[in-house]
Copies of this chain bind each other. A is one copy, B any other.
């Protein structure tokens, strides 16, 4: 059998192989997570108010992440002259939280269990939604582990308190977060246009510690200006609703809103945030592949996540 390609390893083109996140190892046993980063899917979408389908977000983002599986020795970025996510950064995919149809409470509880498992293992938890309501159990899992500040990229404020009895839909997570003792503040970027949050919601958000900036306001401030508004020393939990981006690059989502961020605008904020702050948790939500016929949205999600992880561990290495 000598002479064929396996002797020296596999070429492992992106279209080849099982779709775990970044083609990293799958760990089924949540008590045996041993890695710097752990990635979990949270395929829950009963919290959506327009188009569903975010339940297939984790599969789509995992598939898309294989496009960036070149370069086992890390990814070289010529602009930064840096190699990101080299072999010194270990990452595992722990699969999905169990979702129970018709049952929001159980589904959310299972997501929380997963995040706790990742945190207990000392791994940086990365959760791929699912709709934005999955952020609620993610934030709950951080209780008792020190204060966190939330950095949100989103079109919508998601600050509805309770309406028709609904407290855990995708319009509520930031309100639920702000209510937690361990959440010290929120920086909400990209907020624009009509949403399910009313004027009262905006007022309440500001009263509860939110700094709300539209896309145009972020552009006017610049990266440094935005970063300056995040409290120094804050431990960041970053939540990225893909609809924070412009529908031109993120059409595959349930409630798109025109006028969103372009790619580098978010990337540069994330890079700067990763340099200036400890990032303790990440979720990326609302990728709905049924509306993403070209795959651009899932590719964006994978590209943003992998870059953000690269920035975080590069900053640690340098520091």
Contacts and interface: CB of A to CB of B under 8 A. Distances in A.
Interface of A: 1, 4-6, 8, 10-20, 26, 41, 43, 45-53, 55-56, 59, 62-63, 66-68, 70-71, 73, 75-79, 83, 93, 95-104, 106, 109-110, 113, 133, 157, 163-166, 168-170, 191-199, 202, 212, 214, 216-217, 246-249, 251-252, 255-259, 263-264, 267, 290-296, 299-300, 303, 306-307
Given A19-B59, A76-B202, A77-B193, A102 B104 contact: yes
A63 B163 CA distance: 24
A63 B67 contact: no
Nearest to A310: B194
A258 B251 contact: no
Contact of A259 (B6, B165, B267): B267
Given A18-B19, A78-B202, A52 B50 contact: no
B290 A70 contact: no
Given A257-B303, A293-B293, A294-B293, A52 B49 contact: no
A49 B99 CA distance: 9
13 contacts: A11-B166, A15-B99, A16-B99, A17-B95, A78-B214, A79-B217, A100-B166, A102-B169, A194-B306, A216-B264, A248-B248, A256-B299, A292-B294
Contacts of A67: 50, 255
A5 B67 CA distance: 34
A17 B96 contact: yes
Contact of A256 (B41, B103, B296): B296
A220 to B, nearest CB: 11
Given A5-B98, A10-B98, 15 more contacts: A8-B164, A11-B164, A15-B49, A16-B96, A18-B18, A18-B20, A48-B101, A77-B193, A78-B202, A78-B212, A102-B133, A103-B165, A246-B249, A247-B300, A251-B295
Nearest to A108: B102
